Amino acid sequence: MPRLFVAIDIPDQIKEALTQFTRELPGARWVPANQIHLTLRFIGETGPQALAAIKGALAGIHFPPFQLVLQGAGHFPPGKHPRVLWVGVEANPRLMELYRDLELTLVEVGIPPEERPFSPHLTLARLKTSAPGAVGNFEARHGELTFAPFEVCEIILYSSVLTSEGAIHSREASVGCRGMGNNPNLDTFLTH
């Protein structure tokens, strides 16, 4: 059964720039460029009825376009044994409002509320054998990393299937920004 999550896609030029770091940290399992995204909400495994309900509920989300800035580098969990290397997101009230609207929408269709606080980031790599000192050096080199702002005008419902080759993500549906004029690609709910 596929696992679902809602995410913001990242411009290709930023994804490509992020892949340049893959030579800098031995032992890291880097996320492929085509899978780099900002997860708004991980939903988990769902059946066909829940998927249909989620798609229908997402169609009711309305948000204006807004700008995001990616900046900084760090790891989860805090402390001596890093497991995930990430790039952060500059604080943004519009992003937090979108997250809250999404969370309320999912709870209304029966998805249990998220227990962890929302910590916007892009996962760059998963760490198993990388020495904590090497991770610290990476973060020191890229702690001031900042990308040019990009516009968020769509959220995407993805399904993910784990295989021996890694996760395969597929677009299930997307919601475009409202109030963008007569562009039907941005003003309507699209299913794929």
- pLDDT, one tens digit per residue, over 146-160 is 999 999 999 999 999
Of the candidates 53, 60, 174, 43, the one whose C-alpha atom is nearest the C-alpha of residue 113 is: 43
Catalytic residue set = 37, 121
Quick one: 103 exposed, middle or buried, by C-beta within 10 A (0-12, 13-18, 19+)?
middle
Q: What is the pLDDT of residue 1?
A: 74
User: Mind listing the domains of the chain with CATH numbers?
Assistant: 3-191 (3.90.1140.10)
Q: Compute the C-alpha angle 45/50/56, nearest 5°.
A: 130
pTM, full prediction: 0.87
Q: In this structure, are strands 189-191 and 84-89 parallel, antiparallel, or unpaired?
A: unpaired
Q: What is the pLDDT of residue 179?
A: 52
- Is residue 126 within 8 A of residue 35, CB to CB? The reply is no
**pLDDT tens, residue order, the chain (192 aa):** 789 999 999 999 999 999 888 778 878 889 999 999 999 999 999 999 999 999 999 999 999 999 999 999 999 988 778 899 999 999 999 999 999 999 999 999 999 999 999 999 999 998 887 777 888 888 998 889 999 999 999 999 999 988 877 788 999 999 998 754 333 333 333 333
Read off the amino acid at residue 7.
A
